[in-house]
């Protein structure tokens, strides 16, 4: 089975802790991960190594949704997340793995994302576009320094 791999790099004006928490807080993840035109619902999240998560993306225009879930393989607070994802749709077979590494830099946090095992039916360019939209939303969530 042929699969795709994509890699992304961003520097965010935030902290590694805030970016890390955005991946593991259900409401935060539902806010930033779905690409434009979709909203997310987290159905389950046990954010620990060996823990599982399940979520879905719903198309706001059509109402159609696709769900997926996976397992947390590695969690190093403020430094690294590694997790799997598998679509419920049998037309999107296989198990993807995403690795996110974080490093504090003088102006914020450097973030590297590698997603492997993307089903061949999903063009790599579509994944890049979706991630770019998601990372824009992530920046809008984690960059503001709001004190209350």
Cβ atoms < 10 Å from Cβ of 95: 14
Are 70 and 85 contacting, i.e. CB atoms less than 8 angstroms apart?
A: yes
Domain residue spans of the chain:
3-142
> In degrees, to the nearest 5, what angle opens at C-alpha 77 toward C-alphas 76 and 83?
50
Residue 122 is encoded by which pair of tokens?
């999903």
Are 13 and 107 contacting, i.e. CB atoms less than 8 angstroms apart?
A: yes
Enumerate the β-bridge partners of residue 40.
57
> Higher-confidence residue: 92 or 102?
102
Q: How far apart are CA 142 and CA 138, in angstroms?
A: 6
Are 9 and 103 contacting, i.e. CB atoms less than 8 angstroms apart?
A: no
The pLDDT-based confidence of 146 (bands split at 50, 70, 90) is confident
Positive or negative CA dihedral for 34, 40, 44, 46?
positive
- Kindly state the average pLDDT of the residues 110-133: 95
Q: Which residues contact 74 (CB under 8 A, 6 or more apart)?
A: 49, 80, 81, 82, 83, 99
The pLDDT-based confidence of 40 (bands split at 50, 70, 90) is very high
**What's the CATH code, domain 3-142?**
3.30.530.20
Q: For residue 56, is pLDDT > 80?
A: yes
């Amino acid at each position: 089975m042929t699969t795709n791999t994509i890699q992304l790099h961003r520097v965010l004006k935030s902290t590694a802790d805030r970016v890390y928490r955005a991946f593991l807080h259900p409401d935060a993840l539902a806010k930033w991960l779905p690409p434009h035109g979709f909203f997310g619902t987290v159905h389950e999240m046990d954010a620990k190594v060996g823990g599982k998560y399940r979520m879905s993306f719903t198309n706001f225009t059509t109402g159609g949704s696709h769900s997926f879930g996976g397992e947390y393989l590695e969690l190093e607070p403020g430094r690294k997340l590694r997790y799997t994802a598998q679509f419920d749709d049998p037309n999107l077979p296989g198990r993807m793995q995403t690795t996110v590494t974080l490093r504090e830099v003088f102006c914020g946090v450097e973030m590297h994302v590698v997603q492997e095992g993307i089903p061949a039916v999903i063009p790599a360019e579509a994944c890049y576009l979706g991630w770019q939209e998601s990372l824009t939303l992530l920046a809008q969530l984690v960059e503001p320094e709001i004190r209350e």
